[in-house]
Amino acid sequence: MNTNIKFFGNFRYRIELDTYDDVKNLVATATKCDGRLLVKSGNGFSVNAKSLLGMILAKNLNWDDLVLEMEHDYYNNFKKFIVE
């Protein structure tokens, strides 16, 4: 978990991860995507969306206001997690 990541993706979507299966599915989807994908909390913390350990930690810490930030638009890949 890193609070100093300076990446600003071109595409940002608010997401919800209700279960650990959601976390596993998001990571599995993210690992198939090119480029950097981060999940950021409303508190300024961020983690690599391709890291299962990092995403489990984020879930355990009950991060609020999650935002998925990515270089390329993979909206359709993540639409089941995106909150409109």
Contact 61, 2 (CB under 8 A): no
pLDDT at position 63 is 79
The full set of domain ranges for the chain reads 11-41+51-78
The pLDDT profile of the chain, 84 residues, written as one tens digit per residue, is 544 445 566 899 999 999 999 999 999 999 999 999 999 998 888 999 999 999 998 888 887 789 999 999 999 999 999 998
Strands, sheet with 46-48, edge to edge from the N-terminal-most edge strand: 11-14, 67-70, 37-40, 46-48
pLDDT at position 62 is 81
